[in-house]
Amino acid sequence: MATAERVSPAVNLAAVNGRLSGASAEDRVKWAVEEFGGSLLLSSSFGAQAAVMLGLVTRIAPGIPVVFIDTGYLFPETYRFADELTERLKLNLKVYRPVESPAWLEARHGRLWEKGVEGLVAYNQIAKVEPMQRALRELGATAWLAGLRRAQAGSREDLEVVGFQDGRVKIHPIVDWSDHDVHRYLQSQRLPYHPLWEKGYVSIGDVHTSRPLTADLTPEQTRFFGLKRECGIHETDADGPGI
């Protein structure tokens, strides 16, 4: 059983990123599979463009654990989207949830997401970060694949193909893809966008902190009332080298 202190195998980031920076997304995934084998997993929010990574990775590594954090506050469309893709792609889905149910969380803490940045951070820690960290420990992960892209937000502009997060290796196979690249891949593989994409949602999380893109908003402002961009799952703590 892995522990919170487990450190992934040594990886020379400069050398690996030099090798993989010009590689295809498929070759980046293959490198991760060859390097980490059964201690590799994929995280997915089943968000707007989630089918890209789910399709790309499972074609190369069928049966890889796919971690999905169910906060209890996701859109009905998200749950149905997860069911659809799980069946279609034969996903080895691992659903993790907060220790506290939504009702218990609100009874104890109130509607944290309505309490400014500090409330959002506290809510995200309870509902998203802790379940993800628990998943990584329980599944024995030394490395994980995520679909973050530089074009998504200013907070992601400096991401490399491979980095570290909390003592584990983090691989971003499509980090340099544009929205056009994503669209082209989805079309070529006949994979769907999230159903809410057609209703203007470009970033999809919880019902209470996601809203459709309008003329007066930037894509980053459609989450968390524009107060922050990241939910915490992909943010590095102070215990190890950053991404």
Encoding tokens for residue 161? 């193909």
- Ramachandran category for residue 218: left, alpha or beta (phi over 0 → left; psi -120 to 50 → alpha): beta
Please pick, among 105, 231, 232, 243, the residue that the annotation labels catalytic.
231
Residue found by looking up tokens 């149910």 in the block: 101
CA distance 237 to 232: 9
Q: Where are the alpha helices (DSSP H) in 154-214?
A: 179-189
- Which residues touch 103 (CB under 8 Å, ≥6 apart)? none
Rounded CA-CA distance 93/70 in Å is 12
Helix (H, G, I), strand (E, B) or coil at 24: coil
Cα–Cα dist 63/120, whole Å:
34
231 in catalytic set = yes
Active site residues: 231
